[in-house]
Amino acid sequence: MPPTSREARLRRLAERLGTQHRVKVEPLFDPARKSWTLRWYDGPAVAAVRSALTQDGPENAAVLARRDLTTRALALAAIRETRAGALHRWVGNWGQRYHLEQMIGDRPYPERTADQREERMLTRLLAAATTGSSAVPDENRAFELIARDGIAWLLPEHRLTEPDRADGADGLALSPIEFLTSRYATAEHRSAWETALTPMPLQAAVAAVRADPDAAPEAARAALALLPTLRAERTEELDLAESALARLAAEA
């Protein structure tokens, strides 16, 4: 049976949207409801497709727009939300997925990474979540790995960024404070690093290198790179203290 004019128009719109956003947009007809739905994975936000439907004609008012999320998008959201400290440590249950869906529900292109480091971290997580004979990652497995082990293990490189080398610009190598945190952080600083890539305090990092009789040359270079920032922080702290004390002295 040849498509109706409305069906043909919806299919043309779906094709245009798919080309524009580089996703497959599929028009689906529900015989029970006698209505159409445009469905796609990841890609543009629902509001963008809804706007395109409205612009295409008033007869599209009853057409639904439905975006589903892939494991890639949800795993990337889990990495980001864990790093931001906004993801509760539910393990392998529907609550974690629901939380992530709510967080990225109106964000366009939730599957796109921000840089090479994030892409490599996501790739490593998805690979670790693909087990047995399955060719696709297990969503719950990805959530469980992050809940159990944090995200520091996903870092693609554990070498120190070298200031005179261009390879540090890709964000894969560790900054000086990241390098020292990964080696010297303990207790709550270790937990903060493994969970959310939160670095330890600069002073503690430098002190740890000085106290290590077997410190590697890379650790010494990292500590040296932190000294200007640490010195500036100390100077600012002393300047503030001096100003406060001067005001108190003037009131006497």
> Higher-confidence residue: 168 or 239?
239
C-beta atoms surrounding 245 within 10 Å: 10
Query: In this predicted model, what pLDDT tens digit does every residue of 150-160 receive, in sequence order?
Result: 999 999 878 88
Calculate what percentage of the chain has a pLDDT beyond 70. Answer: 91
Q: Are 64 and 37 contacting, i.e. CB atoms less than 8 angstroms apart? A: yes
pLDDT exceeds 50 at position 69: yes
- Alpha-carbon distance 205 to 219, whole Å? 10
Q: Please report the pLDDT score of residue 91 as a whole number.
A: 46
Taking the CA of residue 212 as centre, how many other CA atoms within 13 Å lie in the half-sphere pointing to its CB?
18
pLDDT exceeds 60 at position 245: yes
Question: What does pLDDT average to over the chain?
Answer: 88
pLDDT exceeds 80 at position 89: no
Kind of pairing between the strands at 35-41 and 64-68: parallel
Q: Hey, CA dihedral for 207, 208, 211, 212, is it positive or negative? A: negative
4-8, 83-87, 125-129, range with the lowest pLDDT:
83-87
158: amino acid identity, one letter: H
Burial class (CB in 10 A: 0-12, 13-18, 19+), 242: exposed
Task: List residues bridging with 41 in a β-sheet.
Answer: 68
Query: In this predicted model, what pLDDT tens digit does every residue of 181-198 receive, in sequence order?
Result: 999 999 999 999 998 899
